[in-house]
A and B are shown apart, each in its own frame.
Chain A
Amino acid sequence: MIASFVLLEGVVALCLGAAALVCLFDRHLLRASCLFVVFALFMALAWLLLGAPWLALVEVVLGVVFTGACFFYALGVFSPGTTYPAYNIDAMNYYDYSRDSCSHGVTRVLLALAWCLMMGGAIRYVMPEMVYSPTEHPLVLASIVIAATAMGAFAFHRHLLRRLLAFNILGSSVFLLLAGMAGTVEGAQALISVGLSIAWLGSLLGALLIRYLLMFDHDASPRPDDGVRGQSQ
């Protein structure tokens, strides 16, 4: 029973890691967003496994439905209301062609490294057993890997949507880490719920912003039939 439970946990952890990695490094944005939804579903499963059914429910509602919707909205898959015309964004825009930035690369890498270092320190002291048998808590291990990668991705990516995705995955892994370190006591659950709501609100704001920026870009970019070279952002 216990062995199968640990096995199940391991499988979920593996799936989480895989979904996160692919989601972070897939340049096809629509696919990445779909993968984020899958990732969030696995997160809900992980909460269930950790014995927090309410958290799983919150994750499904906020993480899967609302946050997922935010990404699709940002991509322009659907646009509720008629506040402004829905721009037909062709398949081009689903793909991130921008080169990863090197301008602030060093500072960002340093920041990301510092972050990872602090996280390592945190694990070292709160969960000393992790040092000797890292596979005992597969979910925590997965969350560490995911957090490190997401931090790196956040530092390197330039496309706003991908940075937003990276933030969300980073957030999920931090929540998982929190639950791993502190257990799923009421305080931790409350913290995670607040964190999830904040992440959703942040994603919503971010998605709105991306839409607006896209609109400005669209207005400012040269139209083929104009013949006038406009100034692109």
Chain B
Amino acid sequence: MIWRFGLLNATFEPLWLTHWALAATLVLPILFGLLGALFSTRRVLPVALACLPILLAGGLLLIDYQQAGLLRWQWQVAGVTISLRLNGLGILMLLVTQWVGAAAALYTPGHLRLTNPGKLSRWLWPLMGVLISALSLIWVAADLLTLYAALELMGLAAVGMLLLSGKPAALVAGMRYLLLTLVGSLAYLLGVALVLGYWGQLDLQTLADVVEPGPVAWVAAALMGAGLALKAALFPLHGWLTPVHESAWTPVSALHAALVIKASLFILVMLWSILLPGTSFAPQLVAWLGMLAIVWGGLVAWRANSLKTLVASSTVAQLGYLMVVFPLLLGPDIAPLPQALAWQGFWLQLIGHALAKAAMFMAAGNLILATGESSLKGLAGSSRRLPLSLLIFGIASVTLMGLPPSAGFTAKWLLLQAMVMTQQWVAVAALLVGTLLTAAYVFRVFRYSFDEQAPRHHYQPLAPGMDLIALCLALAAFGLGLLAHLPLSLLHGGVV
């Protein structure tokens, strides 16, 4: 498993251009965010101009990775070693982060102009910049210290962004989220302390060599796992998720559900594959919780009355799919083929969900903005007036349902194949039931929207491009199903 995370020695030194590209990916978002705070822009063009160099840097890193394979950096700062590495998975997640981030950023000006929030909106850009930088750092960090710093930075920026709407409900929910995420990070830190105290290492690659399974590894994994699961809203620690999204701004919700939660999950999988190689209990536990999550999240979303609650609850269920895969990724005695399939399916599902969920939040935000109502009943008649937003919602939900030809389907296919090969019939049943539950709550939205005998509301026109950006994200999630070998070929590990 370790080689899949690129914790190996690199064959080639990074080129000088690569250094700059890396620096640009990590620093430019914060820099542009600060500029955004200074000018408090509400126009698309400057945002697009700011996104461009960051995306270019990401593309450059991709090209460098494809030429040189695994890239590593190491610095000594005041006696502390900071190490970064860029492997296939890292670059893939980095690109997803940058593109989803750019989409959210481009969506924001229109949203700000239409909702016209107070002066708090000045804080949005710097926080978004910090968030993107921290996320990018998480994908490339290769030691526990950097991971910790990036994780915390991301967490605080996320809390700050979610609070910006300034409604009392948002503040109460945000306070809860803040306290929980801080305590979660203390649990993580204690796990790190354990690792550092016992093995004296923070660097993941060295750690992977010296760790031997035993009580210390288990306790450390449990501590880190608990903290990260809390941050990743894994069932049953998901209670904070729905209220937080209820009153947050649309682009913030999109970024949070698409990326922030996934980053914690990424760290969790990486650390567990180092600390718990070949144990069966912990991954099995996570898998059972995942099955409960699929059912529970689906039921909550099904009963939901407000559109945002529905979309947020579906995240819980979708994370359940990822949790169910844990035994295949980390468990003992898994044949190479199902493990590889599960590995590919896991990340494809994660990426597909990230894109689709961002699109879905944007579409839901557009619907709410245009109808002025946040309840499902308020959608009545919107299929005639807001067909595009609804179509985007539909395309995104195809991915969530896992119906072909979306990324969700291909991912589900890979996972199902791995599970059938390893005879995990309960997990198979959970995945299939999840499909039906997702369909149940998604089509509830459509049932309301197709209702033609509804009173006509006044519909607020949307800013140009708001639907377009969401459509691009939804189509990306959709098309990724057929073009799955492009991202998956990057995933084949750090060796060239």
A complexed with B: yes
Taking beta carbons and an 8 Å cutoff, which residues of A are in contact with B?
114-115, 118-119, 121-122, 124-127, 154, 160, 163-164, 167, 170-171, 174-175, 177-178, 181-183, 185-188, 190-191, 194-195, 198-199, 201-202, 205-206, 209-210, 212-213, 216, 220, 233
Shortest C-beta distance, A215 to chain B (Å), equals 9
B78 at interface, CB cutoff 8 A:
yes
Q: In the complex the two chains form, is A206's CB within 8 Å of B178's CB?
A: yes
Which among B193-201, B241-249, B307-315, B340-348 touches the partner chain? B193-201
Q: In the complex the two chains form, is A187's CB within 8 Å of B178's CB?
A: no
* Interface flags, B149-173, vs A, CB<8A=1, else 0: 1001100100110010010100110
Q: In the complex the two chains form, is B223's CB within 8 Å of A122's CB?
A: yes
List residues of chain B with CB within 8 A of the CB of A205.
156, 159-160, 163, 178
Assess A209 versus B193: contact at CB under 8 Å? Given A187-B145, A194-B152, A198-B152.
no
Shortest C-beta distance, B167 to chain A (Å), equals 9
- The tally of CB-CB contacts under 8 A between chains A and B is 131
Which among B4-12, B18-26, B180-188, B473-481 touches the partner chain? B180-188
- With A121-B215, A178-B197, A191-B148 known, 4 other A-B pairs at CB within 8 A are A178-B190, A186-B79, A188-B193, A209-B174
In the complex, 11 of the A-B residue pairs with CB atoms within 8 angstroms, ordered by the A residue number, are: A118-B222, A119-B190, A122-B216, A124-B215, A170-B186, A178-B196, A181-B194, A183-B197, A206-B175, A209-B163, A210-B175
Shortest C-beta distance, B122 to chain A (Å), equals 12
List residues of chain A with CB within 8 A of the CB of B100.
none
Partner of A177, one of B80, B81, B182, B190: B190
List residues of chain A with CB within 8 A of the CB of B160.
205
Name the prevailing secondary structure of the A interface residues. Answer: helix
Partner of A194, one of B149, B168, B179: B149
B220 at interface, CB cutoff 8 A:
yes
Residue with the greatest number of chain A CB neighbours at <10 A, chosen from B160, B187, B215, B219: B219
Q: How many residues of B contact A (CB 8 A)?
A: 45
Partner of B185, one of A160, A198, A233: A198
B433 at interface, CB cutoff 8 A:
no
How far, in angstroms, from A127 to B219 measured CA to CA in the complex? 14
Residue with the greatest number of chain B CB neighbours at <10 A, chosen from A114, A160, A174, A191: A191
How far, in angstroms, from A183 to B179 measured CA to CA in the complex? 28
List residues of chain A with CB within 8 A of the CB of B222.
118
Assess A126 versus B216: contact at CB under 8 Å? Given A191-B189, A233-B168.
yes
Partner of B215, one of A125, A181, A199, A209: A125
B234 at interface, CB cutoff 8 A:
no
Q: In the complex the two chains form, is A187's CB within 8 Å of B202's CB?
A: yes
B103 at interface, CB cutoff 8 A:
no
Q: In the complex the two chains form, is A194's CB within 8 Å of B159's CB?
A: no
Shortest C-beta distance, B405 to chain A (Å), equals 42
Q: In the complex the two chains form, is A160's CB within 8 Å of B148's CB?
A: no
Taking beta carbons and an 8 Å cutoff, which residues of B are in contact with A?
78-81, 144-145, 148-149, 152-153, 156, 159-160, 163, 166, 168, 171-172, 174-175, 178-179, 182-183, 185-187, 189-190, 192-194, 196-198, 200, 202, 214-216, 219-220, 222-223, 226
Partner of B145, one of A183, A191, A213: A191
Q: In the complex the two chains form, is B196's CB within 8 Å of A188's CB?
A: yes
List residues of chain B with CB within 8 A of the CB of A191.
144-145, 148, 189, 192-193, 196, 202
List residues of chain B with CB within 8 A of the CB of A114.
226
Q: In the complex the two chains form, is B156's CB within 8 Å of A121's CB?
A: no
Shortest C-beta distance, B236 to chain A (Å), equals 9
List residues of chain B with CB within 8 A of the CB of A186.
78-80
Partner of B80, one of A115, A181, A190, A206: A190
Shortest C-beta distance, A59 to chain B (Å), equals 16
Q: In the complex the two chains form, is A174's CB within 8 Å of B197's CB?
A: no
How far, in angstroms, from A118 to B218 measured CA to CA in the complex? 10
Q: In the complex the two chains form, is A174's CB within 8 Å of B193's CB?
A: yes
How far, in angstroms, from A163 to B177 measured CA to CA in the complex? 12
How far, in angstroms, from A220 to B167 measured CA to CA in the complex? 13
List residues of chain A with CB within 8 A of the CB of B194.
122, 125-126, 181
Shortest C-beta distance, A181 to chain B (Å), equals 3
How far, in angstroms, from A178 to B189 measured CA to CA in the complex? 8
Q: In the complex the two chains form, is A160's CB within 8 Å of B196's CB?
A: no
How far, in angstroms, from A182 to B193 measured CA to CA in the complex? 6
List residues of chain B with CB within 8 A of the CB of A213.
168, 171-172, 175
